[in-house]
Amino acid sequence: MASFLMGSQKVVNITYFVHGATADNEQGIASGWYDIELSELGRKQALELKTLIEDMVFCVVYCSDLRRALNTAEIVFGNKVKIIQDKRLRECNYGDLTRAKSEKIDSLMLKHVDKPFPNGECYKDVERRIKSFLDNLGERNARNNVALVAHRAPQLALDVLLKGKTWEQAINEDWRLTSPPKWRPGWEYRFEA
């Protein structure tokens, strides 16, 4: 377990949800920090997710400040629980490759674990953002059941930070790259705050 978690006392249960589809997703485009809303399909997916998790209880929901994540959080959780936007939960910044074909980004992921995308960031930068988020979550006396609504790179960073995977493992085992993709209504993570 990562050193920033040592000496902690309170277990925090995180359920991680990815945002619904956007027009970019449907066209095979990697949005990165481009701020696009959910498509009609994405809104339907969020409504379906709301039904699938209606018995789950969360004390707070944190989401990326990009509209696709915020839209998803608002549809799924509505007024049931407080939703807090946090820019540290954003997707990886692909820089000059923002809105490139998803296949191109997929093929370059391992090359950009430590090396930033041109005029963007690398996956280790995302890991640092997520570590900072988790540190602050613990400092705020995080509640037991927390929901996160965000993107691919933050989820992979959670796999690295909380499940002890290397970036290569996290990328190679990413559910989005399986055929067919093995989506599910939430991924569980635990850490001591």
For residues 103 and 3, what is the distance between their CA atoms, to the nearest angstrom? 35
CATH 3.40.50.2000 assigned to domain 3-192? The reply is no
pLDDT on residue 140: 67
Q: Which contiguous run of DSSP H or E holds residue 17?
A: strand 11-18
| Residue 94 tokens, joined | 């692909």
State the first-to-last Cα distance of the chain, in angstroms, to the nearest integer: 12
Q: What residues does 145 pair with on adjacent strands? A: 13
Please report the pLDDT score of residue 137 as a whole number.
86
β-pair type (11-18, 187-192): antiparallel
At 1 the pLDDT is: 41
Distance CA 44, CA 124 (A): 33
Alpha helices, H only, 53-148: 67-77, 102-108, 123-139
For the chain (length 193 residues), average pLDDT per consecutive 10? 49 93 97 98 97 94 98 95 97 98 97 98 98 85 82 98 97 91 91 78
Q: Is the peptide bond before 185 cis (omega within 30 degrees of 0)?
A: no
> Which amino acid is present at 76?
V
Q: Is the pTM of this model over 0.85?
A: yes
Show me where the domains of the chain are located: 3-192
